[in-house]
Structure 1
Amino acid sequence: MSQGTIKKVAGPLVVAGGMRDANMFDVVRVSDQRLIGEIIEIHGDEASIQVYEETSGLGPGAPVESTGEPMSVELGPGLISSIYDGIQRPLTAIMEMTGNNLKRGVEVPSLKRDVKWSFTPLKQVGDEVEGGDILGTVQETEIVLHKIMVPAGVRGTIRSISAGEYTVTDTVAVIDTPNGSSVNVSLMQKWPVRRGRPYQKKLSPDMPLITGQRVIDTLFPIAKGGVAAVPGPFGSGKTVVQHQLAKWAEADIVVYIGCGERGNEMTDVLNEFPELVDPKTGYSLMKRTVLIANTSDMPVAAREASIYTGITIAEYFRDMGYSVALMADSTSRWAEALREMSGRLEEMPGEEGYPAYLGSRLAQFYERAGRVITLGSDSREGALSVIGAVSPPGGDISEPVSQATLRIVKVFWGLDANLAYKRHFPAVNWLTSYSLYVDTMANWFNTNVAEDWMDLRARLMRILQDEAELEEIVKLVGMDALSAPDRLKLEAARSIREDFLHQNAFHETDTYTSLEKQHDMMLLVVHFYDQCVAALDKGAKVDDLIALPVREKIGRFKYTANDRVSAEYDAICAELSQQIDKAIENKEDF
């Protein structure tokens, strides 16, 4: 254990001398108040430490003590439903101990030591096990079965294992290793946050993470185990998009990181998540959620650690074989913390003052996502999907954080302030957004939903792109200058925008749309357009076609309950054909 003294204090950066025996990324305790810090640079016997708590009042000569261990998180029963700060201190337990304001130097274990959990063994004495194998289970919440795994790197024979009520530190099994030593396994294990948890192999991203949000699932899908960025200016709906994904995405566990967000916004999350009813189980959404709250008024260094804390917890549940969705809101605030610490270290600044290693740090974070075969002899499949919100200043995505993120992620949901101003939500701009997973998942959609899924998607995209070109002509010479087929194309595009892409997150039925219903909605819009084009060729008037009464029913189809979708679809198709025939009969006589 290395001990030294403070030489310099610069905000959250403390320089300590006499630390020659310390290592990079060791956790240290600073001053007699025992503030938590982490070594981020070493020169000779001087260590630069980022302190995760307020440093006012510290001065030269105060003691610094290294724990000899890297920044780690405690992983075990009790994680679900918990609310932590950026370095996994339980905020609820600290509030009960010290009041509403977070006090410095408080030492509270991340997982409660006095709670007993009912452990049910799945292995027995004499079984051969290896790292990642499931020894037994604990029913953590009504909907999450917590699997107790053999720690990574441990292999041997079980000498003892027994059912019963245990705290997270009690030994539940003893494993004899081939070298003659024995390992005591408890319900809890520790893992350093800056090192990704190991797995057997990474799988191809060829399955979608179904979200029930039409603009995402149909036009810009994310793969299970994929990464997505949601850049957007203030008020464009980033947080609501992430709430919708947390609630509806096909994920067993949700990890939500509020990284540098405004306090009132984080308060909304903390108040709303317990009240949100999980549609899959009927219980509160918090029964499968871990929240990490690191608001903008908390020390800036802890903001830098928060996303590593969150993704390590997410990897732990992925290793159990669960599908995990991680929401980071927002990585821009995390990058700002990096910039501040880099400036205090007097490093050479890169573009807009961000450190030169911004891109590599972002890549290290996003690369920990993926669909994997986990460790262990039973070959479980787990997935960790990461959705990172980006808050570019002034909505300008040419700034360094947005550009570095776009070089790494494969899905870009560009939120548009103009769409949000028009009350079009989700405000995902269909002309600037993209998904590079579309081609790898095309076979899945065509096989599991409908053979023509990708063809329909391509037609919708083509119509929307044609609309953008026609809008330029309309602005120059007016609507009257367009031909009848072009006017029809604009109407079809309007139907796609208003009837299909516009989705009400607060409507009981429209908040989530199954893939089958999305397919029917696409078909209705395409049927309307195709039959109108054919009717035009037969002499029907374009004004009659645009004013067809059935269009209102096509628009309201998204509010149809799931058990009535098929019947309503057939009725609308029949009515559309009748009204098209009537429009052809009323054609002009030349």
Structure 2
Amino acid sequence: MSKAVGIVELVNGPVVEGSKMASFKVNEMVTVGRQQLIGEVVSLEGDAATIQVYEETEGLRAGEEVYPTGAPLSLTLGPGMLGNMFDGIQRPLKQIEKISKNFIPEGIGLLSIDPTAPWEVKVVAQVGDVLTPGGIYATVQETLSIEHRLMVPPNLSGKVIEVKPNGIYTLNDTVVKIETEAGEVHELTLAQKWPVRRPRPIQKRIPIYKPLITGQRVIDSFFPVAKGGTVGLPGGFGTGKTVTQHQLAKWSDADIIVYIGCGERGNEMTNVLEEFPALIDPRTNRPLMERTILIANTSNMPVAAREASIYTGITMAEYFRDMGYDVAIMADSTSRWAEALREISGRLEEMPAEEGYPAYLPSRLAQFYERAGCVTTLNNKEASVTIIGAVSPAGGDFSEPVTENTKRFVSAFLALDKKLAYARHYPAINYLTSYSGYVTMLDEWYRENVSPEMLPLRAKMIRLLQEEEKLNEIVQLVGEDVLPNDQHLVLEIARTIKKGFLQQNALHKDDTYVSLEKQYKMLRVIDTLYTSALACVKKGIPLSTIRKERVFDDVVKMKYDVPNDQVYLLDELEKKIVDTYRSLREKYE
């Protein structure tokens, strides 16, 4: 341990002020006091420094010493991250549980992924190869579905002068040695360090062009999310944010899932920690945890670690992106993270802005969301990081600062509605206030991979729902009976869209995930129902007669009646609708 150069002068919750710290650097990681609490220097003024401590400071006294580490807060990146559960600064909870059963003890140190775990390493570099930043020199089959690719750190390149044979190695064992142009020899192990607040470098960003397929109809068909995109998921208490994120984690076609439970209630995080290991990955029929990383930072954990947990999660996501994987990061919720910023800012005596949040809240949100993207990595692979950030506005008020600022930086906004949730309409994504800026970007992909009619059908259904909203205002004033039959039909079709298409049962085997082909054909069935029924209305046939036909009920129940592997039944249903209403029109001619 380095010689102590700092002295604790003041302790205010997670904020510690120290003196004799002129030799320290801003953002340097330090250890504080007898218990060696982990902290980070956030400001320097002369020889006085302000430190944010990532552990409980109870028992810390003035006069205790502060030790430097010479490095910023960094993560150890290597095999052992997948399937693991960490706290906000990458300390493994399973390992900590063996030391302390119920709580994370102070001064436990900066534990990380297990350095003693054996890994089967296949070395792909050969003597004489020139390795550039991001180059892959070895691989580890970390889980059955994910190959962990060991990469040259982004700030290093050189010629391979020694390689170890394939075999069993631990995290800090050297497997390759390279020599730089300056003649320096560097040992490459199974792990590398990276500062959490610095984005990992890429070769270039590429335009977004493909969707993150989630199997959730309201998202894939109405408000599509792109790989490399940013999504805000705001909703009040009980609107289903966590369940929606669980569905996205389980069914989205991302290769890796990083789930950050940031400041949520302990019992909610307990459910996540118990449920995720039990979930089966539909892609491999193996446990979903084999391609998932969980970061748990509950509301009773140290507030400064909550602020760091977002950066911990996004750094891990970028690391797997650099290997060439599509990564989806779920942050639940960014509101609790913003509250941690507010508390620390208050203790630092910074000037508050709107609702007490610090003035730099928008820039911090922007820094987080801007780390998403579809990119070409340093080793010429195409990969992406998609960020889905839940927001928990107090009282469901979307005009509060975190929601308002999130809207500025995300391109898809999936607003969860309390009224829909109370009406048992799940997912409770409001189809009138939500939006996606990716529709035009993904137009070509949908045309080539689903159907040229897919997005025009989507636009038509949204117009019908908007028309229904206007008609409902008239109905509330003068009643439904005064509407002409064609407008009455719009109300009926809108109800069918909501019940038969937008509502989705996460617990039903055929409805929990729906392929894009089935989604398109369901939309086509609803459109056929509308056009066929409208033709009858124009013939003067009473709506009560049109409604008597069982096809309306068949359309609502098609999500349950048509299994995912029998999509052709929807073509038969469409034909049945056409034939039914043709024969009805013939009767009235």
Q: TM-score range by the shorter chain?
A: over 0.9
Matched residue of 2:99: which SS? helix
- Structure 2 residue aligned with 1:508: 509
- 1:112 alignment counterpart: 114
Partners of 1:356 and 1:499 in 2: CA distance = 45
C-alpha deviation, 1:366, in angstroms? 0.6
CA deviation after TM superposition for structure 1 residue 475, in Å:
0.5
* Aligned twin of 1:123: 125
Retained in 2: the 8 A contact 1:488–1:546?
Answer: no
Alpha-carbon displacement from aligned partner over 1:150-186 (angstroms, at most 9, x marks no partner): 1112111111112111101000100111111111000
Say if 2:372 and 2:384, in contact at 8 Å, map to a contact too: yes
1:212 paired residue among 209, 215, 221:
215
Once the two structures are superposed, the pairs formed by residues 231-310 of structure 1 within 5 Å of their partners are: 231-310=234-313
Which residue number in structure 2 is paired with residue 15 of structure 1? 17
Distance 1:114 1:122 in 2: 23
Following superposition, the deviation at residue 297 of structure 1 comes to 0.2
Alignment correspondent of 1:415: 416
User: What does 1:33-48 correspond to in 2, within 5 Å?
Assistant: 33-48=35-50
Q: 1:128 offset after TM fit, Å?
A: 1.3
C-alpha distance after superposition, 1:5-58 (max 9, x if no partner): 111111111000010010111111110110111111111111111111111111
Residue aligning to 1:569:
570
Displacement of 1:123: 2.0
Distance, in Å, in 2 between the alignment partners of 1:574 and 1:448 is: 24
Residue in 2 aligned with 1:134? 136
Gaps of 5+ in 2: none
| Distance in 2 of aligned mates of 1:232 and 1:317 | 30
**Cα displacement (A) at 1:109:** 2.9
Residue matched to 1:153:
155
Q: Within 5 Å, which residues of 2 pair with 1:353-502? A: 353-376=356-379, 379-502=380-503
1:546 to partner: Cα distance: 1.9
Q: Given that residues 225 and 386 in structure 1 are in contact (C-alpha distance below 8 angstroms), is that contact kept between their aligned partners in structure 2?
A: yes
Moved more, 575-584 or 16-25: 575-584
Letter in 2 for 1:33: Q
2:98 match: secondary structure: helix
1:341-356 equivalence runs, <5 A? 341-356=344-359
What is the deviation of 1:558? Answer: 1.3
C-alpha separation between the residues in 1 aligned to 2:255 and 2:168?
A: 26
1:197 paired with 2:200, answer yes
Counterpart AA for 2:584: A
1:173 counterpart residue number: 176
Amino acid at match of 2:103: N
Deviations 1:68-94 (A, max 9, x none): 110000000000011100011111101
**Deviation per CA, 1:389-444, whole angstroms, max 9, x where unpaired?**
00000000100011111000010000000000000000000110001111111111
Q: What is the one-letter code of the residue matched to 1:145? A: E
Q: Distance in 1 between matches of 2:430 and 2:508?
A: 22
Deviates more, 1:522-531 or 1:148-157: 148-157
Q: How far has the Cα of 1:586 moved from its partner?
A: 4.5
Secondary structure class of the residue paired with 1:236: coil
- Bigger mean CA offset, 131-140 vs 411-420: 131-140
Letter in 2 for 1:432: T
Q: More displaced, 100-109 or 248-257?
A: 100-109
Q: Distance in 1 between matches of 2:386 and 2:244?
A: 15
CA RMSD of aligned residues (A): 1.1
* 2:97 aligned residue (84, 91, 95): 95
Q: Tell me the amino acid that sits aligned with residue 510 of structure 1.
A: D
**8 Å contact from structure 1 (residues 94, 108) kept in 2:** no
Q: Name the counterpart of 1:53.
A: 55
Task: Say whether the 8 Å CA contact 2:174–2:188 is kept in structure 1.
Answer: yes
Q: Quick check: 1:130–1:154 contact (8 Å CA) kept in 2?
A: yes
| Corresponding residue SS for 2:557 | helix
SS in 2 for 1:171: coil
Superposed displacement of residue 108, structure 1: 5.4
Q: CA deviation at 1:551?
A: 1.8
Distance 1:91 1:40, change over 3 A: same
Structure-2 separation of matches of 1:571 and 1:87: 55
Q: For 2:21, give the aligned amino acid.
A: M
Aligned length: 585
Q: In the alignment, what sits opposite 1:75? A: 77
What is the CA-CA distance between 1:316 and the residue it aligns to?
A: 0.2
- Distance of 2:111 and 2:587 partners within structure 1: 78
Contact 1:540 1:585 in 2 (8 A): no
1:165, 1:498 → 2: CA distance?
A: 55
The runs of 4+ residues in structure 1 deviating greater than 6 Å are none
Percent of counterpart pairs with the same letter?
Answer: 52
What is the deviation of 1:60? 1.1
**Secondary structure of the structure 1 residue equivalent to 2:567:** helix
| Offset from partner CA, 1:496-529 (integer Å, 9 cap, x none) | 1000000001111100111110000000000000
Task: Compare 531-540 and 416-425 and name the one that shifted more.
Answer: 531-540
TM-superposed deviation, 1:222: 0.9
Contact 2:521/2:571 (<8 A) preserved: no
Instruction: State the alpha-carbon separation in 2 of the partners of residues 577 and 245 from structure 1.
Output: 36
How far apart in 1 are the matches of 2:155 and 2:37?
32
Q: How does 1:541-556 map to 2 (within 5 A)?
A: 541-556=542-557
TM-score (norm 2): 0.98
Separation in 2 of the partners of 1:570 and 1:435? 29
Q: Partners in 2 of 1:10 and 1:404 — Cα distance?
A: 29
Letter in structure 1 aligned against 2:498: R
CA distance in 2, matches of 1:537, 1:401: 49
Offset, 1:338:
0.4
Does the CA-based 8 Å contact 1:544-1:583 persist in structure 2?
Answer: no
* Structure 1 residue 585: Cα displacement: 4.0
Checking the alignment, whether the CA contact within 8 Å between 1:541 and 1:583 is kept in structure 2 is no
Write the distance in 1 (CA, Å) between the matches of 2:125 and 2:39.
40
Q: Give the Cα separation in 2 of the matches to 1:486 and 1:16.
A: 71
List per-residue Cα deviations over 1:94-150 (Å, max 9, x = no partner): 110222221100025311121111110222111111011111210111111100111
Could you tell me whether the CA contact under 8 Å between 2:38 and 2:110 is conserved in 1?
no
Asked whether the 8 Å contact 2:37–2:109 carries over to 1, the reply is: no
Distance 2:385 2:287 in 1: 22
CA distance in 1, matches of 2:71, 2:478: 70
Preserved CA contact (<8 Å) 2:528 2:578: no
Deviation at 1:534, TM superposition (A): 1.1
SS in 2 for 1:470: helix
